[in-house]
A = this chain, B = another copy of it.
Amino acid sequence: MYSVYSGPSSFLQSCSGQQRSSFFMNEDIRADLLQRNSVALSISDPALFPDLPTEVDHYHELVPLETHTLNHAVKSNTYGLITSTYKASNSRTGMRYCLKRIHGYRVTSAKCMSMVELWRKVQQCHLVTLREAFTTKAFGDHSIVFAYDYYPGAETLMTKYLASTAPHLDPFSSDPSAPRPYTMQKNRMLQQQAGKGCVLPESLLWSYIIELCSALRSVHSAGLAVRALDPSKVLITSRGRLRLCGGGIFDVLTYDSSSSNITALLPHYQQEDLLALGKLILALACNSLLALQRDNVSTSMDIINKNYSSDLRNLVMYLLSTTQGSRSKNIQEVMPMIGARFFSQLEAATLHADYLEDQLARELDNGRLFRLLGKLGTVVDRPELNLDSTWSETGDRYLLKLFRDYMLHPCTDDGRPWVDLAHIVACLNRLDTASHDKICLTSRDQQNVLVVSYAELHHCLETSFNELQQAALAPSSAHLLLGSSSNNEQ
């Protein structure tokens, strides 16, 4: 038995907020989903990118994702090689992927692809999964392409927080007109920043820390290291979710066929990941990459001291500390510093799932109702079927037509139209469930009054729609029905 959405539960009162309508999903989430959907479906104008191949291996519909690489090749700071990033559709699955192309690179040993296999297996909610890698000459050079999951509309920590920082928010920005020494200037900047509350909220920073630690933990326990934990390699996808990207590229590019070497270097790379995590947190906390410069470290730690808790300072200190002798750092050791914030993060994730589930409940019936209304529409008032121009005016279809009038064109007693979506929904629900409720259908000339149950109408619709589908599927049926012996079956 279908019934309408019962309304949001009382436990969702706080997160539902002001809702214009509780029968359709929240407009913000809708706009966000639509935006991502349209970005995912976007295609590029071939005239703008004449050099772009139409097909690269089994990918097509390439769209460049980094505008700065359009006009001139730029060497990646991370890899020291020219790179480009494209959105592309997989010709086999139709799914979209993000292709990272390393220009002018020749693979020396096919064995390096074994690293890709290892990375493929690390699937985690804070990691952009590497799906495959292949070499190609489609771009007119020797390129190697890494195919990752694609997140429409994602930006990086770099572009969101560190690249576009306005100078007055950046305590390390060097103002050429300012008198040396910079320190005073810096400190003033710092005061301004702290006073204005321009720093990231500590709770957001901890949320990011937990997400990044979660990703690092998965990568490290898979016997791998990220090796490129850089603000430009951390995506922010929907709702502030972080995802590490670029996993495996370094491993392939620097592949050394002596496998013992890889195993030997892994602990070193993992330590470097933790150091990189510390730097990343420091840069985010200070709102500037300059915080990482050797000269600025004490000012940076001052900023953290003034704006954040000692837990955060201790975490950064731990991650930045150099490994002492045999005592190596470990991602698990970070957990006590995160402490009860795990509970907060979990509660936020749980509440968000509750919220999404309620949104889904609001939309629960709309797909079904849309299809049903469409189905009814294909039958009612159809000009002809199987050359019978009275098809929709006779038999079952006649009843359905009267039902359509009852549902869509009701009037009040004084002859005014009565426009009510709830009435339409109620009629369709009863029709769909073949309810035994009866309604009184009146012909337009008021001469005929028929009392039918929704169950009968349901049967009428099923029969008529089946007839329609039969006619659609069997090319010659129309002619056979009319006794034609034509053989134009196709």
CA–CA, A150 and B7, complex, Å: 12
Chain B min CB distance to A425 (Å): 9
Q: Which residues does chain B contribute within 8 Å of A364, judged by CB atoms?
A: 25, 30, 33-34, 37, 363
Determine if B95 and A210 form an interchain contact, defined as CB atoms under 8 angstroms apart: no
Determine if A374 and B377 form an interchain contact, defined as CB atoms under 8 angstroms apart: no
Q: At the interface, yes or no: A395 with Cβ under 8 Å from chain B?
A: no
Determine if A366 and B370 form an interchain contact, defined as CB atoms under 8 angstroms apart: yes
Chain B min CB distance to A419 (Å): 5
- The contact sample of 30 A-B pairs, CB cut-off 8 A, is A2-B34, A10-B96, A10-B97, A10-B149, A30-B364, A33-B364, A37-B361, A125-B347, A125-B351, A126-B347, A213-B343, A335-B340, A349-B349, A349-B350, A352-B353, A353-B353, A359-B360, A360-B360, A363-B366, A366-B366, A373-B374, A374-B421, A377-B404, A377-B408, A382-B408, A382-B417, A387-B415, A418-B472, A419-B468, A419-B469
Chain B min CB distance to A430 (Å): 15
Determine if A377 and B377 form an interchain contact, defined as CB atoms under 8 angstroms apart: yes
Determine if B416 and A40 form an interchain contact, defined as CB atoms under 8 angstroms apart: no
Q: Given contacts A359-B360, A367-B24, is CB(A475)–CB(B9) below 8 Å?
A: no
Determine if A210 and B346 form an interchain contact, defined as CB atoms under 8 angstroms apart: yes
Restricting to A103-149, which residues have a CB under 8 Å from any CB of B? 123-126, 128-129, 131, 149
Q: At the interface, yes or no: A1 with Cβ under 8 Å from chain B?
A: yes
Chain B min CB distance to A196 (Å): 31
CA–CA, A351 and B33, complex, Å: 17
5 closest pairs, A vs B, by CB? Answer: A349-B349, A370-B370, A366-B367, A356-B356, A366-B366
Q: Which residues does chain B contribute within 8 Å of A468, judged by CB atoms?
A: 417, 419
Q: At the interface, yes or no: A182 with Cβ under 8 Å from chain B?
A: no
- Tell me what chain A mostly uses at the interface: helix, strand, loop, or mixed: helix
Q: Which residues does chain B contribute within 8 Å of A8, judged by CB atoms?
A: 95
CA–CA, A478 and B345, complex, Å: 60
Binary CB contact string for chain A from 39 to 78 against chain B (1 if under 8 A, 0 otherwise): 0110000000000000000000000000000000000000
Q: At the interface, yes or no: A194 with Cβ under 8 Å from chain B?
A: no
Determine if A347 and B381 form an interchain contact, defined as CB atoms under 8 angstroms apart: no
Q: Which residues does chain B contribute within 8 Å of A124, judged by CB atoms?
A: 347
The listed residue (B29, B350, B373, B414) touching A475 by CB distance below 8 A is B414
Binary CB contact string for chain A from 363 to 392 against chain B (1 if under 8 A, 0 otherwise): 110110111011001100111010100000
Closest to A352 in B: B353
